[in-house]
Every structure is written in C-alpha cells, then in structure tokens.
Amino acid sequence: MRAEDIAGPGDATDAELARTIIEAPPGSAQAEEAELYQRFARRVRLFGLRHLRDDEAARDLAQQVMMLTIERLREGAVRDPNQIASFILGASRTMTRDLQRRERRREALRQNTWHAMPIVEPSIGNAIDLDRLERCMRHLSDRARAVLLLTFYAEKTTTEVGQALGLAEGHVRVIRHRALEQLRQCFISDKVAS
Amino acid sequence: MTRCVAPLDLDTLSGYWAGEISEQDSAGVEDHVFVCADCAERLEELAATAHGLRTLARQGRITGIIPYDLLNRLSRDGVRDRFYWLAPGESVPCAAWPEDEIFVVGLRVDLTAVKSVTLVVTGPNGIEIGRAMDVPVAPGSHEVLHATAGTIVQQIPSMRIQFTLTDAGPGHRLLGEYILQHSSTSG
C-alpha cells in the first residue's frame, strides 16, 4: 500500500515515504518523492550552508543529494528505509567533502539535469523580514547586539568575542543565548502586533 | 512527520551554526537534525536570523555602541561609513550624505580601569534620544565607537547632539562629553 493511500504523503513518516518510493515502479511515486524532497532538501541545504558558507553551493548540494537519494530509492539500493535520514546525511557529508576538496566541481553540479518535479525550493534567510529584525535588534542591549553581530556577521569565535568586549567566554554564550531567545520572542510579538 | 523526543537546545544549535562545537558534537547535531523536523525547523530559523543579521550589517543598518572588530568587518565588506572622531569636550560640525550607509562617531576616552560604560545621547534642551547602558569595553582601549544607520542620520534635522560617557561602575564617573553640530543635508 502506498503512503498516500493512507493519509497523504504529508502525514507519512520518512521511512514510509522511502518504502513507497522503493516499492513503486520507478518514477511513479512522484507525490512521495516531492514530499521527501521538501522535507530533506531544507536540511541538506542547512547542512551545506553550515559547511560551505555559500548559499548557491548549498542549494546545489541539496539538489544533488536529493537527486542521488531518489535515484537510489527507485533502484532499490537503499536497503533500510528506516535509515533514510542517515542515508541522506551520509550523502550530504560525502558530497560536501568532495565539494570542499574540488571547488571546480561546483560548475558541473550546477549543470545537472534533473527532471522537473513539483518542488518549492527551500528558502533560508530570504524568508526573514529585515525591517522586523531591525526593530527587534533595537530592543536588545548594546552588548547583546554586539555579541550577535560579532558571532554571526563578523564570524568571531566566542573567545574572540569575549576579547573584543572584555567578557568571559561563558558570559558571551549566555548573552548570545538570551539575545537569540529575545529576538525570537520579539519576532512573535511583533508579528502578532502587526 | 518524524517528531522530536529530545529537542536540541538553542545554545547547542547556535554553537553548531557558529562553528564553535567540536566535530564530534557537530556530527551529533547533524544526526539529530536529519531525523527531526522540529529541530531542523528551529535550526532553519536560526540560520535565517544569522543571514538577516549579516544582511542588516552589510546595509549599515546597525545602531548602538560597536566594537572595533565589527567596524573592521564592515569596512572589509565595503559598507560606506561617515566617521567623526571626537575628544572629550570637543565640538565638531557634522553631516551625513545619501551615500553614507553608516554613521560612526569615535569618542576618544581614557578607559584605564574601566570595565563598562554608559552612553547617553541628548538632543536640543537635553532631550534624551538614545542610551546605551553598561556596555563592556575591551581592556586597554582608548575609544568608544557609536554607530547609527545612515538612513536614520539622514532624517535628523540640524541640531546639537551631545554624547555623555560615564563609567558604568560604582560612582558613575564622568568620562567625557562630546558635541556634534549636526547639519541636515536632506534639504
């Protein structure tokens, strides 16, 4: 029985989606493939952003990894559908290492021709409302703002942030944690207010 | 959907995103995020915030006291700044132009034995227009940098702006007063 026959692919577990793709004639479980893509492409892209620090490369990585995953599922080469997340993470790691070793390969990855599927590209970063973030940043203390900007913009380590601000590392972490939480709360209340 | 049974805390996620945790711990975070939609969503939220912070900074949309490292990074990224240095007691004419993305005032000050400062910004008739409380300063530094987004400064009418810097420690010792005679360029 296909996962979509039960309650639609959106309600299926990751393993159920993988199993359906394996069991269906190759290419016929498009809804499940699209759902699996939606779920995991975002995570692979996050992984890529974290390791490659390049949005375009991360997007390429997500597409390549998901293409490989779905091909392997169609071929029945993924033996345990319960381990689909692990398979995708493993593929992400391997491909990222390749990308890091050979930057040139990026161009080849971009030229990949994969059949069109009903895919909404995961958008990370573009989704944030900058005006709202700017307003919320103003509610933070100067030290909290400085910690966030030094960490996520200037890409300083906690030790370096501490040195720049005359703070102990532990204190920097506490400030960062609270500032992120404060931003999150501000975003929620600002959203409600507007 | 796979649901989370042991959510990763924000400290772990931010440490991961900032590249500050060990490879082994990072691998643990990744193992979890790939099987957990909830934590993946929270990490995505954090990544979006980090991306937003970088974008705001690159657009000069930063206001408040900033450390030197941040100013250096802004310069490296080509953010166009208008910079004024002031010594204690000094009064300097200033203006911001449409091409200025960020407006920075460097307040020279003796910070010997000072751990943190409070800065109060006042306009005409002593009306307070900004305050930064208990901001830590790097040991041995000799200036405090205050940034304002260029778009904000460009809207300020011509006026006298005073910066009053005090030691945030016991006694609240006055460290310096600085004046900017701001001229509007918005016509």
Beta carbons of A164 and B11 less than 8 Å apart: no
For residue A192, what pLDDT is reported? 61
Q: Select the residue of B44, B57, B73 nearest A46 (Cβ to Cβ).
A: B44
B61-182 CATH choice from 2.60.40, 1.10.3470, 1.20.1340, 3.50.4: 2.60.40
pTM of the model: 0.79
Could you give the 3-state DSSP secondary structure of residue B156? coil
Q: Select the residue of B57, B115, B138 nearest A164 (Cβ to Cβ).
A: B138
Is the pLDDT higher at B186 or at B153? B153
Q: In what order do the strands lie in the sheet with B91-94?
A: B91-94, B174-182, B159-167, B116-122, B128-136
**Are A152 and B127 within 8 A, CB to CB?**
no
Contacts of A25 (CB under 8 A, 6+ apart): none
ipTM score: 0.89
**Are A184 and B45 within 8 A, CB to CB?**
yes
In a 10 Å sphere around its CB, with 0-12 CB exposed, 13-18 middle and 19+ buried, how is residue A155 labelled? middle
Domains and CATH numbers, chain A: 3-110 (no CATH), 130-193 (1.10.10.10)
Is the pLDDT higher at A53 or at A1? A53
**Helices within chain B (DSSP H only):** 10-17, 23-33, 37-58, 68-76, 150-153
Q: What is the DSSP letter of A29?
A: -
Q: Which of residues 115-154 of A touch B (CB under 8 A)?
A: 124-128, 130, 133-134, 137-138, 141-143, 145-146, 148-154
Q: Least CA distance to B47: which residue of chain A?
A: A125
The phi-psi region of residue A181 (left if phi > 0; otherwise alpha if psi is between -120 and 50; otherwise beta) is alpha
Interior angle at CA B150, CA A190 and CA B51, nearest 5: 50
CB pairs under 8 A between A and B: 156
Distance from CA of A148 to the nearest CA of B (A): 8
Does the pLDDT at position B185 exceed 70?
Answer: yes
pLDDT (tens digit per residue) in A112-164? 544 444 444 445 545 688 999 999 998 999 999 999 999 999 989 999 999 98
Which residue type sits at B32? Answer: H
Does the pLDDT at position A73 exceed 70?
Answer: yes
Distance from CA of B15 to the nearest CA of A (A): 9
User: Could you state, in order of their start, the residue ranges of all structural domains in chain B?
Assistant: 10-57, 61-182
User: If pLDDT is split at 50, 70 and 90, which confidence band does A53 have?
Assistant: confident
Give the helix/strand (H/E) hosting B107.
strand B102-108
Q: How many residues does chain A have?
A: 194
